[in-house]
Amino acid sequence: MHNKTLSTILIGFVTANILQASTLDDITVTTATKTEKSINGVTASIVVITKEDIEKTGASTLSTILEKIPSINAQYGRFPHPSAKSKAAISLRGVGANGTLILIDGKRLSGETESPYEMTRISASMIERIEIVKGSMSTLYGSDAIGGVINIITKKIDYNTTNIDLKYGSNKNSDARNKNINFNTMGKNESIRYKIYGSINDTSPYTVSKSYSQQATNPTSGADNDTHTLDNISGKHNVTYRDESTVKTIGTRLEKDLSDDLKVGMALNYFIEETQGQYIGNAKTTSEGLALIKNTPVNSKDENKRIDASFDFDYIINDDLFIDTKIYRSYYKKRNETDPINFNGPTNKKFSANVTIDALESNLKYIVNDSNFITTGFEYRKEKRESGAINPNPASSEFITKVVKYKSLFIQDEIEFNDTLNATIGARYDNISNAKNKITFQAGIIKNLSDNTNLRFNYAQGYRTPDIAELYVVSPLFKDGKRFGSDVIYGPKTFAYNLKPEQSQSYEVSLYNKFNSLSSEITLFNNKIKDKIELVTYGSGASKYYTSENLANVDIKGIELALGYDFSDDFDLGFNLTYLKTENEATSKELTYTPNVSVSLNSNYKVTQNLSTNLMIRYIGEQYTDTLNTTKSDSYNLVDVGSSYRINKHVQIYGGIDNIFNKQVNEDLGTNIGTYFYTGLKATF
């Protein structure tokens, strides 16, 4: 039997490569290299959000956490359904929402094709930390990580404990009320560890009154039908910008040490979600004569379920060779019904779906010698999507099935040249059933200039294949027109477009320094993307539609600056700034939904041993909301305050106010709910 655990061996290897590990913050991460490594030895840009950081925000879901992280911006309005106003996806460094891979404990989740609202489904209380790797990670994670990876790491089973977290919040008008209940218990004996958790997240809607003017059209040709009795009816209706929803989650994980060298684990997670909102959309009517009524109030409700099951094992073959493997399935059942409000009409079930992800991933890790640590592995993944939204007939809700299979091999070498110079190089081969085979490379180097200063260089290639929505979606309403996938030929769209995969090359250089109580890091980066997939528009009026096409060359340049200062053990300040300059080189236009400047200032002050306070100020700069750069949203700033008080070693109360000055946000960016008050109680036993 071996006396060392796998993590002890790996950390021992990587910390030997980092001269300043004892003087800089001793944080280990896994996402950037798939090995446990000091954050100061990682050549890629990585941000770690700890559970202490999460507690300071008072967040109840992942969505609230990510909203407050610099250089991350939410993109609304991408989902091909009227409910897109209430749902967002995350973009890193302006690469786009579809290029950000979100993982939970390293595993993908089945869900919407464009991942518009997964963030609201993950409870903050179950998170141990979040690792955000910015820049292409295609070499390790494949085609959907061209912009970066967000890995949500749940709480580990380290000791016996039970936690309860109760939270309530609403805006100043008692709208957007949120009731959040979280429970988890975990424990262990000599060889078995267990974790059981559950949560209920219940929200009331937030709405904004909007004017509408109905337009009756022929459902086949799209031609106006001015004589229809429902044509040209105007009014106002409350449009939902935060859904009424209830999300219930329950799950468990079991781990057992079969020997000193072999650990196995299994996990099961189940969630059920009910949402409802009212929007301005399209609906058919037959009672007044067959017609498609555009710009009319509709009620949309979802009943969604997902079950995730996994099995994994870690095996120490010998002191130099280790293997870890996980097998998992994620099955998502979405049932959407959309009905007209102003008149009788058939229920639209087109945006229902079944999504299944089956995956097998295995990594072999080999310490070649004191200077080389090889990680190699393979991945097999099958993604099956059944949906009426990809049925080429807009009038039909019958499911169409699309299956994509991924087979991948990768290899990575972490190299120590000497005590102050280290490198990471890697390559990946992807065989994807609906695209050409692809090889990607990555290389990075880190030079320790002193005990407290290092210089990083990183180069990475990225690759992203089109998703199902970009290829096949048929949406009768999208923004002020329709939306069709690139392969679709219907109505005003008379041609199919050969949508090519995106390819990118990312370059970055970063300088980190810690001097006494001041830490600083400045990063310069440049992403060059070939054939970037973006939505473009054709036609006007009833014939206007959006579709996905390639932009030949896109250039994204940026600067990230992070400063931190510890005035004392009880008081610290943090400052972050991100500057982005994006350009479609064919038109010299900027990309949409990429703010040019994002700034945050964060302060933590421990007033007494039991009372702590937090202040966060955020500024989001102007950004274009259309590809022609004719419409630009205003900049805005938000101020949040929070505090917590520990009553005793078991009980803590907390509360805060988000957006205390009630700043408004352009609706294209997702209208905020105004000043928001929250309070909560945490108990640990």
Two tokens, residue 429 = 């081969």
What's the pLDDT at 654?
93
Segment among 143-152, 281-290, 503-512 with least mean pLDDT: 281-290
382 falls in which pLDDT band (50, 70, 90)?
very high
* Start-to-end C-alpha separation, the chain: 35
Beta strands, E only, 388-452: 400-418, 421-432, 438-450
Segment among 207-221, 242-256, 380-394, 663-677 with least mean pLDDT: 663-677
Largest CA distance in the chain: 84
State pLDDT tens for residues 154-196: 888 888 899 999 999 999 888 889 999 999 999 988 789 999 9
Q: Which CATH superfamily is domain 6-684 in?
A: TonB-dependent receptor, beta-barrel domain (2.40.170.20)
Residues 6+ apart with CB under 8 A from 227: none
Residues 6+ apart with CB under 8 A from 410: 139, 140, 376, 377, 378, 379, 426, 427, 428, 429
Alpha carbon distance 264, 326 (integer Å): 10
What's the pLDDT at 77?
59
What's the pLDDT at 321?
94
Nearest to 476 by CA among 283, 241, 339: 283
pLDDT of residue 464 exceeding 60, the answer is yes
Segment among 26-30, 295-299, 667-671, 675-679 with least mean pLDDT: 667-671
List the domain boundaries for the chain.
Answer: 6-684
Alpha carbon distance 262, 227 (integer Å): 74
6 falls in which pLDDT band (50, 70, 90)?
very low
What's the pLDDT at 79?
66
CB-CB neighbours of 11 under 10 Å? 18
